[in-house]
């Protein structure tokens, strides 16, 4: 039945093909864009949604800078920390050398032997004190936390070796494979041994675009001045109130330094992902508009075709075609045109996907996206052609007997 239908429709299409070719071209471009845009958006959404490993909603940071000649960094940070820790609602606070997810931080290379040869392993490190793990809200899965007496004094030139440190599971795996990391030794760039004393489950480091973002190490060291950076973890729901009171207190508590920022940690996370988020928003917007324009184009062209063929439809009705036959004629015609476009579009989509995967070093376009895109465009075409087809079916057979 359908195959019988297709032949006259096809020959009619081929006789008057410009409009059909234009619609097919639109469908092809729309498919290529849709499939790849959805794919890229999915990558970005996944990237933004990766677990941070930290209690990110309940952490805020404070940064200050000492500037007077008689500024005492050790005394000031001790006073600040004891004030912060004494506030009701504060769970833990630490001095730190860097801010996770902020785009700024320090990186070091670790080597398997003291000769410091061959490929090292990158470690994004944060100096913290014995409250570091508690403050970040990361989970210790093996070994132990730092003791207060292990925290090394501030050391701007990094001269003193760090005998023991804590690593994420990802870093442990990069360093030692699947073996239990606690007690294992690795070597810094000067060949000095560093022993793993604890392993935390997961923590994201400084740079969201870094492919080794999970290779984080915590070092037991007081971050050096005259800039001070504190991380503070609060009880759920108390963060914003504490940001306010911390700002009020710390901006006046010590005149030999200035308070720079008091901000939530998710402010920095959001800022780091801003480009990804906006890219996703832009892609979704343009792709949605593209879908609308394509659907409207199909709709408008179908409408015109129906108008143009009013007499022909009337004649067909007069010689016995049912309403359903008329509807089917236009739906099949639309389906043929969309299919031609989809075939061309599939090739185009794969080509675009290939060049994107090269530009971004992404995995090749997943074919499920292509199948989904094809189905979506078929459906769009049929929906867009439905109303004009219904209108065609309503044309009265008597039209055939009138002139114009």
Partner 1 sequence: MMSYYLKLAVRSLRRSPGITSLMVLAIALGIAVCVITLTVHHGMSSNPIWWKNDRLYAVTLDSWDPERPADEDHPELPPSELTWRDAEAVTRSDIPLRSVRMHKAGGVLSSGDSRVPARPERVIARMTTAGFFDMFDVPFRYGGGWKATADAGPEPVVVLSSKVNEQFFGGADSVGKTIRWDDREYRVVGVLAPWHPAPTFYDLNNGAFDDPEDIYVPIGWTEKLELPSGGNTNCWNAEDIQSFADFLNSGCVWIQVWVELPDAASKARMQAFLDNYVAGERRGGRFKRPNNNRLTNVDQWLVDNEVVGNDNRMLVALAFAFLSVCLINTVGLLLAKFLGHAAITGVRRALGASRRQVFLQHLTEAGLLAAVGAALGVVLAGAGLWALRIMYATPRDGFTGLMHVSSWSLMITVALAVCATLAAGLYPAWRVGRIAPAVYLKSQ
Stretch that binds partner 1, among 137-145, 317-325, 352-360, 374-382 (CB under 8 A): 352-360
CB of 154 to partner 1, least distance (A): 14
DSSP string, 39-82: HHHHHHHHHHTS--SS-GGGEEEEEEEE-STT--HHHHHHHHHH
The residue (of 292 and 367) whose beta carbon lies closer to partner 1 is 292
Dihedral pair phi/psi, residue 259, rounded to 5°? -85, 130
Task: Answer yes or no: are the C-beta atoms of 187 and 116 closer than 8 Å.
Answer: yes
DSSP string, 256-288: TEEEEEEEEHHHHHHHHTHHHHHHHHHHHHHHH
Question: Rounded CA gap, 78 and 91, in Å?
Answer: 17
Q: Give, as ranges, the residues between 251 and 270 that touch partner 1 (CB under 8 A).
A: 257-258, 260
Q: Pick the binder of partner 1 from 14, 148, 324, 359 (CB under 8 A).
A: 359
Q: Pick the binder of partner 1 from 11, 46, 159, 319 (CB under 8 A).
A: 159
Using rule CB under 8 A, residue 288 touches partner 1 = no
Q: Pick the binder of partner 1 from 6, 79, 318, 356 (CB under 8 A).
A: 356
Q: Give, as ranges, the residues between 216 and 245 that touch partner 1 (CB under 8 A).
A: 226-227
Stretch that binds partner 1, among 76-84, 94-102, 164-172, 276-284 (CB under 8 A): 276-284
Q: Pick the binder of partner 1 from 10, 74, 75, 296 (CB under 8 A).
A: 296
Exposed/middle/buried for residue 195 (C-beta within 10 Å: 0-12, 13-18, 19+): middle
Q: Pick the binder of partner 1 from 88, 153, 156, 177 (CB under 8 A).
A: 156
Question: Rounded CA gap, 152 and 245, in Å?
Answer: 30
Q: Give, as ranges, the residues between 297 and 336 that touch partner 1 (CB under 8 A).
A: 297, 300-301, 304-305, 307-308
Which residues are CB-contacts of 45 (< 8 A; sequence separation ≥ 6)? Answer: 280
CB-side exposure of 357: number of CA atoms within 13 Å?
13
Q: Pick the binder of partner 1 from 8, 75, 109, 325 (CB under 8 A).
A: 109
Question: Rounded CA gap, 98 and 106, in Å?
Answer: 7
Stretch that binds partner 1, among 53-61, 153-161, 230-238, 375-383 (CB under 8 A): 153-161
The residue (of 82 and 401) whose beta carbon lies closer to partner 1 is 401
Q: Do you find a cis peptide bond into 383, omega within 30 degrees of 0?
A: no
**Residues that contact partner 1, how many (by CB under 8 A):** 58
Please give the structure tokens belonging to residue 22: 């234009």
Nearest Cα residue to 168 out of 54, 88, 56: 54
Nearest Cα residue to 165 out of 134, 193, 131, 204: 193
Using rule CB under 8 A, residue 45 touches partner 1 = no
Question: Rounded CA gap, 354 and 150, in Å?
Answer: 52
Question: Rounded CA gap, 175 and 120, in Å?
Answer: 9
CB of 304 to partner 1, least distance (A): 4
Q: Give, as ranges, the residues between 15 and 44 that touch partner 1 (CB under 8 A).
A: 18-19, 22-23, 25-26, 29-30, 32-33, 37, 40
Using rule CB under 8 A, residue 278 touches partner 1 = yes
The residue (of 291 and 372) whose beta carbon lies closer to partner 1 is 291
The residue (of 202 and 256) whose beta carbon lies closer to partner 1 is 256
Please give the structure tokens belonging to residue 362: 């992404």
The residue (of 72 and 201) whose beta carbon lies closer to partner 1 is 72
Q: Which residues bind partner 1 (CB under 8 A)?
A: 18-19, 22-23, 25-26, 29-30, 32-33, 37, 40, 65-69, 71, 109, 116, 156-159, 188-190, 226-227, 257-258, 260, 271, 274-275, 278-279, 281-283, 286, 289-290, 293-294, 296-297, 300-301, 304-305, 307-308, 356, 359-360, 403-404
């Amino acid at each position: 039945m359908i195959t019988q239908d297709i032949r006259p429709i096809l020959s009619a299409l081929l006789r008057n093909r410009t409009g059909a070719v234009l619609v097919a071209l639109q469908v092809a471009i729309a498919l290529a864009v849709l499939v790849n845009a959805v794919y890229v958006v999915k990558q970005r959404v996944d990237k933004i949604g990766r677990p941070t490993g930290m209690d990110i909603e309940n952490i805020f940071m404070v940064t200050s800078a000492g500037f007077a000649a008689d500024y005492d960094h050790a005394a000031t940070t001790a006073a600040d920390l004891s004030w912060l820790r004494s506030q009701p609602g504060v769970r833990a606070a630490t001095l730190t050398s860097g801010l996770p997810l902020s785009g700024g931080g320090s990186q070091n290379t670790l080597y398997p032997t003291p000769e410091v040869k061959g490929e090292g392993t990158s470690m994004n490190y944060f100096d913290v004190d014995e409250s570091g793990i508690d403050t970040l809200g990361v989970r210790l899965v093996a070994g132990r936390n730092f003791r207060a007496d292990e925290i090394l004094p501030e050391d701007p030139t990094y001269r003193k070796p760090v005998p023991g440190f804590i690593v994420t599971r990802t870093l442990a795996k990069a360093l030692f494979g699947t073996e239990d990391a606690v007690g294992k030794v690795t070597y810094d760039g000067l060949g000095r041994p560093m022993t793993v004393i604890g392993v935390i489950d997961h923590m994201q480091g400084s740079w969201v675009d870094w492919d080794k973002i999970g290779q984080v190490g915590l070092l037991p060291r007081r971050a050096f001045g005259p800039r001070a950076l504190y991380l503070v973890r609060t009880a759920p729901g108390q963060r914003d109130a504490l940001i306010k009171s911390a700002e009020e207190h710390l901006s006046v508590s010590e005149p030999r330094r200035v308070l720079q920022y008091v901000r939530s940690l998710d402010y920095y996370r959001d800022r780091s992902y801003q480009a990804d988020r906006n890219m996703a928003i832009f892609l979704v917007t343009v792709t949605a508009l593209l879908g609308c324009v394509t659907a409207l184009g199909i709709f408008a062209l179908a409408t015109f075709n129906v108008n143009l063929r009013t007499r022909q439809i009337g004649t067909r009705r007069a010689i016995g075609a049912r309403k359903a036959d008329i509807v089917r004629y236009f739906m099949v015609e639309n389906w043929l045109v969309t299919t031609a476009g989809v075939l061309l579009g599939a090739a185009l989509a794969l080509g675009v996907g290939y060049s994107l995967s090269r530009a971004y070093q992404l995995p090749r376009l997943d074919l499920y996206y292509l199948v989904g895109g094809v189905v979506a465009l078929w459906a769009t075409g049929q929906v867009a052609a439905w109303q004009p087809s219904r209108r065609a079916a309503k044309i009265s057979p008597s039209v055939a007997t009138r002139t114009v």
